[in-house]
Amino acid sequence: MSGRFASWYSRWNEKLIRVAGPAQLGAGHPEGPDVRSTASPCPMCGRPMTEHTVLRPGGQRDATRLVCPEAAQIA
Rounded-to-integer distance, Cα 43 and Cα 66, Å: 11
In a domain, 31, yes or no: no
Quote the domain boundaries for residue 58.
Answer: 42-75
**Tally of domains in the chain:** 1
Q: Is residue 24 part of a domain?
A: no
Phi, psi of 4, deg, nearest 5: -70, -40
Q: How confident is the model at residue 72 (pLDDT cuts 50, 70, 90)?
A: low
Q: Could you tell me which residue, 7 or 35, shows the higher pLDDT?
A: 7
**pLDDT tens sequence across 13-64:** 899 888 888 777 766 677 677 677 767 888 888 888 888 888 887 766 778 8
Would residue 58 count as lying in a domain?
A: yes
Q: Is residue 51 part of a domain?
A: yes
42-60 burial string, b = 16+ CB within 10 Å, else e? eeeeeeebeebeeeeeeee
DSSP state of 45: T
